[in-house]
Amino acid sequence: MRQLSWFDFEQAVDTIVERCREQCFSGIHGIPRGGLVLAVVLSHRLEQPLLASPEPGCLIVDDVYETGLTLAPYRELEGCTTMVWVSKAEPQWWQAVEITDSREWIVFPWENAAAAAADEQLYRASR
């Protein structure tokens, strides 16, 4: 398991802010659960409204791109930018702060390590 820290989080947020600073969004939507933390912080840093649901022209954020199932429903939403902190695949229609080919399970700073280990077991058993 790879444990990310709050310092890593701040660096990821800084990278997203730098990439998105000049863009105009209708707001920011975070994919539940992991994208919510990113969305709240980016909403403040980019001075954009936090959206309860995605809308055309918004920034959609998530913590990790693993299989693409979570982000797939938003792919065709008009004028949206999709950004993830960590992508386990080479980005195609989404952007990533970090790209890795590691199969290592990622534990984000807001997650409980024991619960993350249980999530990993369930995920791997389902594959």
CA distance 23 to 25: 6
CA distances for 82 relative to 27, 62, 74, 117, angstroms: 12, 8, 8, 27
Q: What is the pTM for the complete model shown?
A: 0.90
Q: How many residues does the chain have?
A: 127
Whichever domain contains 97, its CATH number is 3.40.50.2020
H-state helical runs in the chain: 6-20, 34-45, 113-125
Q: What are phi and psi of 107, to 5 degrees?
A: -110, 115
pLDDT of residue 13: 98
pLDDT of residue 127: 72
Q: Which residues of the chain have pLDDT under 70?
A: none
**Within the chain, how many helices (H) and strands (E) appear?**
3, 6
pLDDT of residue 113: 83
pLDDT of residue 32: 94
Domain count, the chain: 1
pLDDT of residue 16: 98
pLDDT of residue 103: 87
Element spanning 84, H or E: strand 81-87
Domain with 39 in it: 2-125
